[in-house]
Structure 1
């Protein structure tokens, strides 16, 4: 059976990479030529829709670029490898991105390292591949963006990390992250309008933990940071939920949720947290009778 274009280029690339350097040649040019051949092999495999082979060829190219001291080209090759692997092999895509991040950090390019880490978070979050790793990658990306003064992008990452923490039932972490997101949002006229949403989510997390003392402290703190907060629908909803929890009144709790949902449709995240709180309330109520 004849070789495909990808296989032919790959064979040439492997031969070049394994060849010895002649009297008048240079090691650097050998690796550059091998890298070019691996690129051609990878692109041919992409045409053939052989994504794993394309990813592996791009990784071989990256190795050649490093031998030739072409760090930027090596970073790009790892990025191309990840893009190919994403089609069929998410774990291999993550591994290639980690290699790119190592080189970016060595070069002091934290902004691009943050971009790659955010990409990793997206791969882990997609289809629930690994929610905990996705959350950790979003936080790491957020920290790097903040370091580079890309505060709006950092905040988006922290917000996604907060949501994933809540999805995992890690309400303490979620509450802390939402508070961080809100504090930054408060400092910008463009994002100030969204603060009440983050504060509501933080308060709901404390209720899901069964810690009403913290809920009260948070609501007092939020009111100090923005005097208009207590008059918002979000604040009134949070206060009503807290009072229903204090009284272990499931009916009052359900009424508050229904009333809020009639005007502002509850999203899946809030619905999940509210169900968790209600379940604990029902168990508490059952224990009292």
Structure 2
């Protein structure tokens, strides 16, 4: 096996996979041999940096492991296949991770299934056309992490899902997620400091809808949950731009954003979100 080429190993693996056994061997033993050969071929492909071929060989190995009832091994093999596909074929990587996750759920291993859903979300997030699938995977991961008592990891997945929801302009769902993350964070002295950021993000989503009245009511609720929020930079900024939006005062809005940006640079998805809010404020008459 050591001197054989990857192609030769793959050919032998396929022959044994199709074998029905013989006088001195059972189909099961042939299938077990095929698994070893598929994995050996995959290793040779990896040495030659032929990652797509390595991934395909590992998928065949995983399929045979499922066929022989070795589903726990199959889950690991599918995940290894996804790592090979990750750089060359993200679509196949997602399929492999999905199959791994399905097996883990079937086996009742929800913590590991949550890890794989998180991996799946990361793959989908790399392509703007699959952001909706990334959102769904992060949400699924957060639910399973929550069930397993991994609240910190669940919260992290919820934050990622909330950011994607904003990119997809799913503002009501983003609000629910940011407020849920804030509620979780309030329960720990280690994470309570971050609540102001989550309330700000939720408030910005209200303004992006736009629903200025709901934004102001939400801020009153946030003050009840965290009495210190209104005096924070985030709380004062949110209040300032909410008032500017309420009155259609673009000059005041721009001034508030510029002041906050000097203290805490506004970048990434938050900058995009504020730009969208600004456009809505610009379209409203100045009632000041």
TM over 0.5: yes
Match of 2:84 in 1: 84
State the alpha-carbon separation in 2 of the partners of residues 283 and 184 from structure 1: 36
Match of 2:191 in 1: 191
Q: 8 Å contact 1:10–1:57 — kept in the other structure?
A: yes
Corresponding position: 1:143 with 2:143: yes
Between stretches 61-70 and 14-23, larger displacement belongs to 14-23
Match of 1:279 in 2: 279
Q: How does 1:162-181 map to 2 (within 5 A)?
A: 162-181=162-181
Match of 1:269 in 2: 269
Q: 8 Å contact 1:206–1:214 — kept in the other structure?
A: yes
Structure 1 residues 79-105: Cα deviation after superposition (integer angstroms, max 9, x where no partner): 111111112110111111111111111
Match of 2:10 in 1: 10
Count of aligned pairs: 285
Corresponding position: 1:48 with 2:64: no
Q: TM-score, normalised by structure 1?
A: 0.95
Corresponding position: 1:133 with 2:133: yes
SS in 2 for 1:215: helix
**Structure 1 residue 285: Cα displacement:** 2.7
Gaps of 5+ in 1: none
Q: 8 Å contact 2:199–2:222 — kept in the other structure?
A: yes
SS in 1 for 2:112: helix
State the alpha-carbon separation in 1 of the partners of residues 231 and 67 from structure 2: 63
SS in 1 for 2:196: helix
**Structure 1 residue 112: Cα displacement:** 0.8
Match of 1:251 in 2: 251
State the alpha-carbon separation in 2 of the partners of residues 166 and 4 from structure 1: 52
Between stretches 127-136 and 70-79, larger displacement belongs to 127-136
Gaps of 5+ in 2: none
Q: 8 Å contact 2:19–2:27 — kept in the other structure?
A: no
| Stretches (4+) displaced over 4 A | none
Aligned Cα root-mean-square deviation (Å): 1.6
Q: TM-score, normalised by structure 2?
A: 0.95
Corresponding position: 1:235 with 2:261: no
Corresponding position: 1:211 with 2:208: no
State the alpha-carbon separation in 2 of the partners of residues 67 and 278 from structure 1: 57
**Structure 1 residue 119: Cα displacement:** 0.5
